[in-house]
Amino acid sequence: MAKLRVGLLFGGRSVEHEVSVASATSILEALDSSRYDVHLIGVDADGHWHLGAPSLPPEAATGGDEVLLPAVPGGGGLLARAAGSLKDGAESALATPLDVIFPIIHGRGGEDGSLQGLLELADLPYVGAGVLASAVQMDKDVAKRLLAAAGLPVVPWEVERLAKSSQLLAPRLAETAQDILARTKFPLPYFVKPSNSGSSVGTSKVDSEEELAQALATAARYDSKILIEQAIDAREFEVAVLGNDDPEASVPGEIVTQHAFYDYHAKYAEASTQLVIPAEIPDGQSEQIREMAIAAYKVLEGQGMGRVDFLLDRATGQLYINELNSLPGFTQESSMYPKMWEATGLSYPALLDRLIELALERHSEKSRLETSYRDG
């Protein structure tokens, strides 16, 4: 049986570039070489795609030959951007069409629907959520509106639109902060974050009006649409969801951090951060979280995989959906998504196999749909 040709796509023009490289490294090591012929496709910080030889570590691939993916169906292969510039080991990969893409580009340009749109135009199967699900899960404001409309609990929030240039205008920021404090129906403290960003980049906890102005400036570095959420003293839980039309949920995990919240440093650099899997909660509460995770996944059109994050108010016991992530971190050692599935009984290599199967199943179903109209 011929090996499946997998394009492992990673890196990206995003503040989460390094996180993506770490995810790709773990995936490359775990994919079964007897089943898969893996082709590394690294996207550099300027957005250019590069082809790496299969033996190269992912971090080296962004220095390889520059390639393009034609946005037309039928090929499935990459094209060299400059003819005659191929390095050793790249020519055969370029000549071989890919069977499936495993995109592990986190953040803007990777999990916001834009990359998924390109892969749809190229008619290539790909792992993870589609265009709509990727876009709405990336935009925290839109996701909250849809979840709230479906009757699922979310923390109260406001939205402010602020151009990046405004961060240079201290008086304008102070006025905006005053306006937000006057119109919000919930008291300080707040969490202020870019509506479209990941890994808590640009997120601040705010206890005063002065801090609010600075937090707005920080968030505006990464998005012009800014979320202001009510901050609650909460335990933080996560659930991994897997599947297309009939998704399943893993056991919940709890994040215990010494920081004010689970920020970028706590996620990737703080040794004291604890990932408690499975979470130490009653069985009934665990089942409630899993059921709510699947409900939220369906509301936001999840496919393939997704991670659902929860907040449990310590004072009231109220459970809130914090956000959904359509392309969660995938390092075998420290990422919650694969670790929660491992605790549920699905190993890291088996999880990768299942994700690729789901991608192929979804593409096969979509391929049966008619693309031209014939009356009768």
Catalytic residue among 14, 20, 286, 325: 325
Catalytic residue among 329, 337, 354, 362: 329
- Straight-line distance from the first to the last Cα atom of the chain, in angstroms, rounded to the nearest whole number: 41
Note if 165 is an active site residue.
no
Note if 323 is an active site residue.
yes
Note if 329 is an active site residue.
yes
Note if 108 is an active site residue.
no
Catalytic residue among 307, 320, 322, 342: 307
Q: What are phi and psi of 257, to 5 degrees?
A: -130, 150
Catalytic residue among 268, 313, 334, 353: 268
Note if 307 is an active site residue.
yes
Burial grade of 50 (CB within 10 A; 0-12, 13-18, 19 or more): buried
Q: Which residues, 6 or more positions from 177, have their beta carbon under 8 angstroms from its beta carbon?
A: 209, 210, 212, 213, 216
Catalytic residue among 323, 326, 354, 362: 323
Catalytic residue among 14, 134, 199, 335: 199
Q: Which residues, 6 or more positions from 228, have their beta carbon under 8 angstroms from its beta carbon?
A: 157, 158, 159, 160, 180, 184, 190, 191, 192
- The whole-angstrom separation of Cα 293 and Cα 317 is 17
Note if 16 is an active site residue.
yes
For residue 108, the SS3 value is coil
Catalytic residue among 309, 322, 348, 362: 309
Catalytic residue among 12, 16, 76, 190: 16
**Half-sphere exposure (Cβ direction) of 141: Cα atoms closer than 13 Å:** 15
Q: What are phi and psi of 372, to 5 degrees?
A: -135, 150
Q: What is the DSSP letter of 331?
A: -
Note if 199 is an active site residue.
yes
Residues that are catalytic: 16, 199, 268, 307, 309, 323, 325, 329
